[in-house]
Amino acid sequence: MSMQYPILFPYGEDGYHENITYRRCARLQAIKRKKSTMVEYFAYRLHDKADDFNTPMRCKRGTQAYVIDAYCCMEESRLSHYRSKTFQLKYRTTSFSEVSTMVHSGITEASDAGQQVILPSSYIGGGARYLYQNYLDSVALCRKYGCPDLFITFTSNSLWSEVTQALAIIPGQHSADRPDIINRVFHVKLHLFMDDIVKKKFFGPVTAVVYTIEFQKRGLPHVHIILWLDKSGPLTPADIDRLISAQLPDPSIDRVGYDAVAAFMMHGPCGDANPHCSCMVDGKCSKNYPKEYYEKTTILPNGHVRYARPKNDIIVAKNGISLDNWHVVPHNVDLLVKYEAHINVERVNRDGMEKYLFKYVAKGFDCSRVGLKRKRACAGTNEIHDYLECRCIAPNEAAWRLL
């Protein structure tokens, strides 16, 4: 790293190498491994210490590039194990149709069939087999506990007081310059959030939960949570009104709740008021906003929920445009006030939407790849090469995996 980023290592520090040993302490005797791993080293470096100036964490875009390269080094080290002949000789995979084609063409040796370089589901990071295994695990939960009840999206907030206080230590830093701080604060908030849901039973007794952490295009982490509640039947409109709201609170009664919804849960403005909004596709909002007014919550025959959005003349100004209950994203006011972030709470459609929901949370990172290749009967593509070819990562995601 000191050769790659000389400005980050002005004194020519060595960086990571395989002979870094642990500091001698009482608990060292209980650790079988005596040398530090690459992940442990970078996790140590991605942290401010009182007696260390820590130049790599004070260089803004240089810091982002450093974090990404550190993650790439760590991932390459792990993938080298799966590339080794010792591992690859154990496994081969192919479809039944390919085996049938090979047998008809005269190939009878099993060693000549199937994929020679695979990326197994044991590799945690976004490989196709790993994601598919997560999907199957979610479907198995659905088979045991039935259809899930709630789908929650919890997004981090770069303006959290913990983040701004940590950034204020070094003047001139922004949240994008310190992915380690963003991820650490979100990690703490997520644990508190899950404790409220599972242990403190905020929505009621929970029988099962599945969640996956993703990263937005701008790098901020967010989590998708699928929740199974312990109850005798599906949620009724009265239950939905108790857990979910899709309207602005009355500022004369709940000013704190009104400010939280106005800050985090208003969609748009989009449509004719802002045709260049990111949600606009072919002149229409892809999220189907604005909604219509409804006096009470109802469940439609197709399983969809129509949340209560009364016409009560409560509005909020956003970018100089007045928005009302038409533009409110479903939420829970108490969670908004406590965590000060975008928290979308939705009732799950019980009309055959479970598979789509599980595929959505286990889809992995967004990518697109187009190419042409010659079809061969005996050899398949290299799954590790394919994974790396379409892999893209933001500084926040790289820091998350290192920490």
Segment 278-324, tens digit of pLDDT: 888 888 898 889 899 999 999 988 888 999 999 988 999 988 889 99
Lowest mean pLDDT, pick from 56-60, 115-119, 161-165: 115-119
Confidence of residue 330 (pLDDT cuts 50, 70, 90): very high
pTM (two decimals): 0.86
CA dist 348 and 178 (Å) reads 36
pLDDT of residue 268: 81
Considering the domain boundaries, does residue 1 fall inside one? no
- Residue 228 clears pLDDT 90, i.e. is over it: yes
**Across 17-60, where does the E strand assignment appear?**
none
CA dist 238 and 124 (Å) reads 41
CB contact set of 40 (below 8 Å; sequence gap of 6+): none
Classify 135 as helix, strand or coil: helix
Please state the domain count of the chain: 1
Q: Report, as an integer, the average pLDDT of 124-143.
A: 86
Segment 25-54, tens digit of pLDDT: 777 677 788 888 899 899 988 888 888 888
Confidence of residue 89 (pLDDT cuts 50, 70, 90): low
Considering the domain boundaries, does residue 208 fall inside one? no
- Residue 369 clears pLDDT 60, i.e. is over it: no
Considering the domain boundaries, does residue 278 fall inside one? yes
CA dist 28 and 215 (Å) reads 36
Query: What percent of the chain has pLDDT above 70?
Result: 89
DSSP letter string over 208-251? EEEEEEEE-TTS-EEEEEEEEE--SSPPPHHHHHHH-B-SPPPT
Query: What percent of the chain has pLDDT above 90?
Result: 37
Q: Report, as an integer, the average pLDDT of 190-214.
A: 95
What is the average pLDDT value for the chain, to the nearest integer? Answer: 85
Classify 194 as helix, strand or coil: helix
Considering the domain boundaries, does residue 301 fall inside one? yes
State the residue range of the domain holding 313: 235-339
pLDDT of residue 202: 95
Considering the domain boundaries, does residue 323 fall inside one? yes
pLDDT of residue 378: 45
Q: Report, as an integer, the average pLDDT of 382-389.
A: 75
Confidence of residue 85 (pLDDT cuts 50, 70, 90): low
CA dist 259 and 248 (Å) reads 9
Considering the domain boundaries, does residue 311 fall inside one? yes
Confidence of residue 216 (pLDDT cuts 50, 70, 90): confident
Considering the domain boundaries, does residue 285 fall inside one? yes
Considering the domain boundaries, does residue 264 fall inside one? yes
